[in-house]
């Protein structure tokens, strides 16, 4: 995994219609945040968008590929991130549309988490 800050700046410009984005390094790659939620990863010049059961079929139909990586035992591990479709690489409007679907997926995941119970005070 590798993250290039110049690529991060290109991503900010490409997704400018989303408003301010935060990009944080993470495990050699980077996470892209909108309103405090991770909706994409940046790794080796690829934008990986968060997916769930709603937007994953759409990404698949658009020719996106799933993020995978090898484990220590040689197996391949898949993550819930899919590449930005190639047609969106030259079309910021299309890219923003895909990003919004991924932000929606991140919101659905956050809403599905069980609320934490507050610790009892002594």
Q: How confident is the model at residue 112 (pLDDT cuts 50, 70, 90)?
A: confident
> DSSP per residue over the chain, as a string?
----HHHHHHHHHHTGGG---EEEEETTEEEEEETTEEEEEEETTEEEEE--TTTHHHHHHTT--EEEEE-TTS-EEEEEEEEPPGGGTT-HHHHHHHHHHHHHHHHHHHHHSPPPPPPPP-
What does R_g of the chain's alpha carbons equal in angstroms? Answer: 16
Structure tokens at 91: 């079309």
Fold entry, domain 5-112: Yope Regulator; Chain: A, (3.30.1460)
> What percentage of residues in the chain have a pLDDT greater than 90?
67
Whole-prediction pTM = 0.85
Q: How confident is the model at residue 104 (pLDDT cuts 50, 70, 90)?
A: very high
Render pLDDT for 38-87 as a digit per residue (tens, 0 to 9): 999 999 899 999 999 999 999 999 999 999 988 889 899 999 999 999 99
Q: How confident is the model at residue 2 (pLDDT cuts 50, 70, 90)?
A: low
Distances in whole angstroms, Cα of residue 73 to Cα of each of 27, 70, 76, 77, 115: 19, 8, 9, 11, 35
Residue extents of the structural domains in the chain: 5-112
> What percentage of residues in the chain have a pLDDT greater than 70?
90
């Amino acid at each position: 995994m590798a993250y290039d800050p110049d690529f991060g700046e290109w991503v900010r410009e490409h997704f400018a219609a989303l408003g301010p984005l935060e990009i944080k390094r993470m495990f050699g790659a980077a996470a892209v945040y909108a309103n405090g939620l991770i909706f994409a990863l940046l790794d080796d010049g690829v934008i990986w968008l968060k997916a769930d059961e709603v937007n994953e079929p759409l990404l698949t139909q658009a020719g996106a590929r799933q993020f995978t990586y090898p484990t220590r035992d040689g197996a391949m591990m898949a993550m819930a991130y899919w590449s930005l479709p190639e047609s969106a690489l030259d079309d910021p409007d299309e890219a923003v549309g895909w990003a919004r679907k991924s932000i929606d997926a991140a919101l659905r995941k956050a809403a599905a988490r069980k609320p934490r119970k507050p610790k009892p005070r002594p």
